[in-house]
Amino acid sequence: MDAPLVELKDMCISFGGVRAVDHVSVDLYPGEVVGLLGHNGAGKSTLIKMLSGAYKSDSGEIRINGKEVHIHSPRDARAQNIETIYQTLALADNLDAASNMFLGRELTSPLGFVDDDAMEAETRKIMGRLNPNFKKFHAPVKALSGGQRQSVAIARAVYFNAKILIMDEPTAALGVHETQMVAELIEELKKQGLGIFLISHDIHDVFQLCDRIAVMKNGQLVGTAKTTDVTDDDVLGMIILGKCPAGATPGPGALVDEAAVG
């Protein structure tokens, strides 16, 4: 198997004496989607914010392609080709797809003017690769559907060389067709060798989109498993009870199922 793209080792962070993430270790391989699950307050978003540079860890180690890196800010994360797509998507509603793609990083002509034609051409090129059905290049993004807006946010990350993508609830509030569109986008990203951490509350989504899951509870890792090795009920047991089923690898926060082991 390839070497891990990302290794988070013994990650810890506390807020006001409360250990929000407690010695959590998770890895991610190229072309893989790892779903991070757990109740609100379980620590999954906090863990990923240490990778995205939003929080600085108290201790632990982050390795990218086998090399230890120090991520203290979002700029440090981007330097490691890590991009985050938040649930809010951070799009400017009144601007079109190309203007959003290059927001703050506009292409300019030799005379220093913003080159709208060049930005549209690049946007059409990347969209042709990721979502060939996307046609609304001149509409403001507020006029786009949820899945189309996700397409713009994902295209922006990929265009600027993301190798590691963090997706926060990518199908929240989307219908069945829109969710399928996002699933197809994720499949395309996997083919291109990106690694994706996907935060979700929707177990159905996780089984559709993820190769592996990592479940957290009370700041600790309950366990990890391939989605093919566990059932919906197994995952619910991990989230609610912290019980690690036979098909999963237990973490420090696991309440091991004695019956399953025996």
Tokens linked to 45: 């978003």
202 and 236: one domain?
yes
pLDDT given for residue 261 in this prediction = 46
pLDDT of residue 151: 87
Last residue of a domain, one of 138, 162, 186: 162
Alpha-carbon gap, residue 145 to 78, rounded angstroms: 27
- Asked, for residue 1, whether it belongs to a domain, the answer is no
**Alpha helices per DSSP H over 202-241:** 203-209, 232-241
Q: Are residues 67 and 136 in the same domain?
A: no
233 and 169 housed in the same domain: yes
Quick one: tokens of 240? Answer: 């609610």
Phi, psi (degrees; rounded to nearest 5) at 77: -65, -45
pLDDT tier, 1 (very low <50, low <70, confident <90, very high otherwise): low
- Looking at the structure, tell me whether residues 218 and 113 fall in a common domain: no
Residue 37 and residue 101 in one domain: no
Which CATH number belongs to the domain containing residue 246 in this structure?
3.40.50.300
- Overall average pLDDT of the 118-126 stretch: 94
Mean pLDDT of 11-23: 94
In a domain, 87, yes or no: no
Residue 165 structure tokens: 């993508």
Same domain, 212 and 131: no
**Residue 205 domain-assigned?**
yes
Q: Are residues 171 and 241 in the same domain?
A: yes
> Max Cα separation, the chain?
73
Same domain (yes/no): 174, 247: yes
The reply to whether 86 falls in a domain is no
Choose the final residue of a domain: 132, 162, 192.
162
pLDDT at 200: 87
Query: Domain range spanning residue 127?
Result: 92-162
Residues 124 and 55 in one domain: no
Q: Are residues 113 and 150 in the same domain?
A: yes
Query: Would residue 136 count as lying in a domain?
Result: yes
Question: Structurally, how many domains does the chain consist of?
Answer: 2
51 belongs to a structural domain: yes
What contacts 87, CB < 8 A, 6 or more positions away?
Answer: 168, 169, 170, 172
* C-alpha of 71 from chain center: 17
Position 199 in a domain: yes
Rounded CA separation 187/209 (Å): 8
The whole-model pTM stands at 0.88
Q: Higher-confidence residue: 255 or 42? A: 42
Q: Is the residue at 75 inside a domain?
A: yes
State the number of CA atoms in the 13 A half-sphere of 57 facing the CB: 24
